[in-house]
């Protein structure tokens, strides 16, 4: 029998129980900094050193963090389902929990890229990026993060994957950031849809989803067990 396809759209909330702060859209701050200063091209052009420092801190804490029960539960699905995780997160906790097919919509904290050519991407082995580190074309390296106002190239890879989902889960995202939030519109009407977020009942664009208003680390191990039991008996 053909394996069912599970597609997950995750956001900052899934990493909250690993100690990483979420992004609070309501007051426009991320780790006490104004979004304009640390997550826009204008912020980078105004003070690149400050922006590098901000992401150096995120890289340091991201590497120290460990995958939580939610990341681990998702990884357990893989032998029984075809699973793709589409994440808005820049951390690598899904991969470190064992998930093998992860699409990062908004970039990766452990990568740098050229500031003149987005195709020139490098893995960061050390933890602190510095001014004066150059790409092969001679421009300053910046974090490989998609900032507000920039294109989200991976959305084109994500849409057809969402369309194939038999089971679709939205986990730990406020669904405020587009185009990522618009992915819910591409889910087939026949798919089973879950929304896991303590504030899920108040979010507007997941009508028709089965809402589980709990923390991801509390809700996912049992949901995953139910799905694994169903796969066994099917
Ligand atoms: P968001 O901060 O806007 O929303 C977080 C959501 O997670 C909220 O709806 C909140 O209710 C929920 N939440 C909080 N704790 C939870 C838990 N334990 N379990 C389940 N849900 C929980 O985040 P977003 O929608 O992902 O958008 C923020 C943007 O900031 C993204 O683009 C992302 O790239 C970036 N970001 C990434 C990280 C990371 O990589 N870990 C951290 C902060 C921000």
List, in sequence order, every beta strand (DSSP E) within 77-224: 82-87, 102-104, 107-114, 121-123, 141-145, 167-171, 192-196, 210-212
Task: Tokens 């106002």: give the residue.
Answer: 149
Distance in Å, CA 155 to ligand 1 centroid: 18
End-to-end CA distance of the chain: 9
Amino acid 30: pLDDT: 79
Pocket test for ligand 1, best of 11, 169, 203 (most atoms within 8 A of CB): 11
How many angstroms does the Cα of residue 201 sit away from the middle of ligand 1? Answer: 16
What is the C-alpha to C-alpha distance for residues 177 and 145, in angstroms, rounded to an integer?
A: 14
Q: Whose CA is nearest to atom 6 of ligand 1?
A: 173
Q: List ligand 1's pocket residues with C-beta within 6 A.
A: 11-17, 20, 22-25, 30, 88-91, 106, 172-174, 176-177, 196-199, 215-216
What pLDDT does residue 27 have? 64
Q: What is the pTM (predicted TM-score) of this model?
A: 0.95
**Dihedrals phi, psi of 46, to nearest 5 degrees:** -70, -45
- State residue 184's pLDDT score: 96
Q: Residue 234: how many CA atoms within 13 Å on its side-chain side? A: 12
Per-residue pLDDT reduced to its tens digit, 59-114: 999 999 999 999 999 999 999 999 999 999 999 999 999 999 999 999 999 999 99
pLDDT of residue 32: 85
Cβ neighbours around 194 below 10 Å, total: 22
Q: Is 98 left (phi over 0), alpha (psi -120 to 50) or beta?
A: left
Residue with the smallest CA separation from ligand 1 atom 40 is 89
Please state, as a whole number, how many other Cβ atoms lie within 10 Å of the Cβ of residue 225. 12
Residues of the chain under the 50 pLDDT cut: none
| Atom 22 (ligand 1) nearest CA | 13
Give the DSSP per-residue string, 34-96. EHHHHSBHHHHHH-HHHHHHHHHHHHHHHHH----HHHHHHHHTTTTSEEEEEE---S-HHHH
Q: Which of 8, 9, 13, 17 for mutating ligand 1's site (highest number of atoms within 8 Å of CB)?
A: 13
Q: Do the Cβ atoms of 140 and 115 come closer than 8 Å?
A: yes
Q: How far apart are CA 164 and CA 24, in angstroms?
A: 31
pLDDT at 1: 67
How many whole angstroms from 55 Cα to the centroid of ligand 1? 16
CA of 12 to the centre of ligand 1 (A): 2
């Amino acid at each position: 029998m053909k394996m069912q396809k599970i597609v997950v759209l995750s956001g900052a909330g899934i990493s909250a129980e690993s100690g990483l702060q979420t992004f609070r859209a309501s007051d426009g701050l991320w780790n006490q900094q104004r979004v304009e200063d640390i997550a826009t091209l204008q912020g980078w052009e105004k003070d690149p050193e400050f922006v590098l420092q901000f992401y150096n801190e995120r890289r340091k804490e991201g590497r120290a963090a460990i995958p939580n029960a939610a990341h681990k539960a998702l990884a357990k699905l893989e032998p029984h389902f075809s699973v793709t995780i589409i994440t808005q997160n820049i951390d690598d906790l899904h991969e470190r929990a064992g998930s093998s097919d992860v699409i990062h919509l908004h970039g990766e904290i452990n990568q740098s890229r050229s500031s003149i050519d987005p195709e020139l991407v490098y893995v960061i082995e050390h933890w602190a990026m510095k001014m004066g580190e150059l790409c092969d074309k001679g421009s300053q390296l910046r974090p490989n993060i998609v900032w507000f106002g920039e294109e989200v190239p991976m959305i084109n890879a994500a849409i057809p994957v969402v369309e194939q989902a038999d089971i679709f889960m939205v986990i730990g995202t406020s669904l405020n950031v587009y185009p990522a939030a618009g992915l819910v519109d591409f889910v087939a009407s026949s798919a089973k849809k879950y929304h896991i977020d303590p504030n899920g009942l108040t979010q507007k664009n997941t009508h028709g989803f089965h809402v589980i208003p709990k923390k991801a680390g509390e809700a996912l191990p049992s949901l995953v067990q139910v799905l694994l039991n169903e796969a066994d008996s099917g």
